Amino acid sequence: MSQERVKTAIILAGGAGLRLRPLTQDIPKAMINVSGKPLLQWIIEWLKVNDVRSIVVGVAYKKGKIMEYFKDGENLGVEIKYSTHTVEGGTSEGFKLAIHRHVRDEVFLAMNCDELVDIHVNEMFAHHCKQGGVATVAVGPLRSPYGVVELDGADVIGFDEKPILQSVHVSTGVYVFSRDVLRYLSDVGDVERIMFPKLSSMRKLKAYHHNGFWATVNSLKDLEDVETQLQRGLI
């Protein structure tokens, strides 16, 4: 493969963000203020640090708000193009249209706009190329939202408040795709429910283990947690 690094990223920012109401009543999730700037801006700045400067933003719900704010990306030192899809079409439609319209690279990054991570993009790219899959998912250990109780009969012999479960892996919502992914993307639906199970059954879906920071902003509680971590300098 002649490509030496990830040059292009697709960020899907089309969801209605229903679990973040009332914040998303008039703006898309991507524009929610997180410690002084929009959520999407944090992602774009992380991509720029990783030398990914060609960005395709998939937009749907309240798309004008995103396009008016970020424009062509020049103010942030990147190039932004937009791909419109429908909210109902899900991530499959969003990724498929964005690739067809704006992506020419053989390998590229793909992600949702509600993920904050400190992944080294080109390390993940190298892993993807070495493993030879169609798609690679960045996975991390599960952070339990609950206290885990260890029992001996009716006796509680241990209690761990919201532990990190190293033996259980979950998707961080950040992916590396080879262009061949177009053969497997459905027209509508979500890649996590349709394409990924299909690829995994064919052993074409690979995992990249990420043990650094990652967080999903899907609810008001998530937003509160992320802002606390930002204030503590953890991101």
Q: Where are the domains of the chain?
A: 8-139+169-231
pLDDT score at 167: 58
Give me the pLDDT at residue 221, please.
Answer: 86
Residue 41's SS3 state is: helix
CB neighbours of 57 closer than 8 A, spacing ≥ 6?
Answer: 10, 11, 13, 30, 40, 66, 70, 80, 81, 82, 83, 113
Structure tokens belonging to residue 111: 């992600």
pLDDT per residue as tens, the chain (235 positions): 568 899 999 999 988 888 888 888 889 999 999 888 999 999 999 999 999 999 999 999 999 999 999 999 999 999 999 999 998 889 999 999 999 999 999 999 999 998 899 999 999 999 999 999 999 999 987 676 667 788 877 767 777 776 565 656 788 899 999 999 999 999 999 999 999 999 999 999 999 999 888 888 888 888 888 888 777 765 5
Crossing angle of helices 39-49 and 63-70, in 10° steps, is 50
Cα pseudo-dihedral 5, 10, 11, 16, rounded to 10: -160
Cβ atoms of residues 6 and 176 within 8 Å? yes
Beta strand pairing status for 135-143 and 205-209? parallel
The Cα 94–Cα 38 span in angstroms is 21
Rounded-to-integer distance, Cα 27 and Cα 44, Å: 18
Residue 145: its pLDDT value, please? 63
pLDDT attached to residue 234? 56
> What is the enclosing helix (H) or strand (E) of 79?
strand 79-84
- What does the alpha-carbon distance between residue 230 and residue 63 come to, in Å, rounded to a whole number? 27
SS3 37: strand
How far is residue 120's CA from residue 138's CA, in Å, rounded to a whole number? 11
In Å, what is the CA distance from 208 to each residue of 61, 96, 121? 31, 22, 11
Q: How far is CA 177 from CA 5, 7, 94, in A?
A: 13, 12, 14
Prediction pTM value: 0.89
* CATH annotation of 8-139+169-231: 3.90.550.10
Residue 173's region, left for phi above 0, alpha for psi from -120 to 50, else beta, is: left
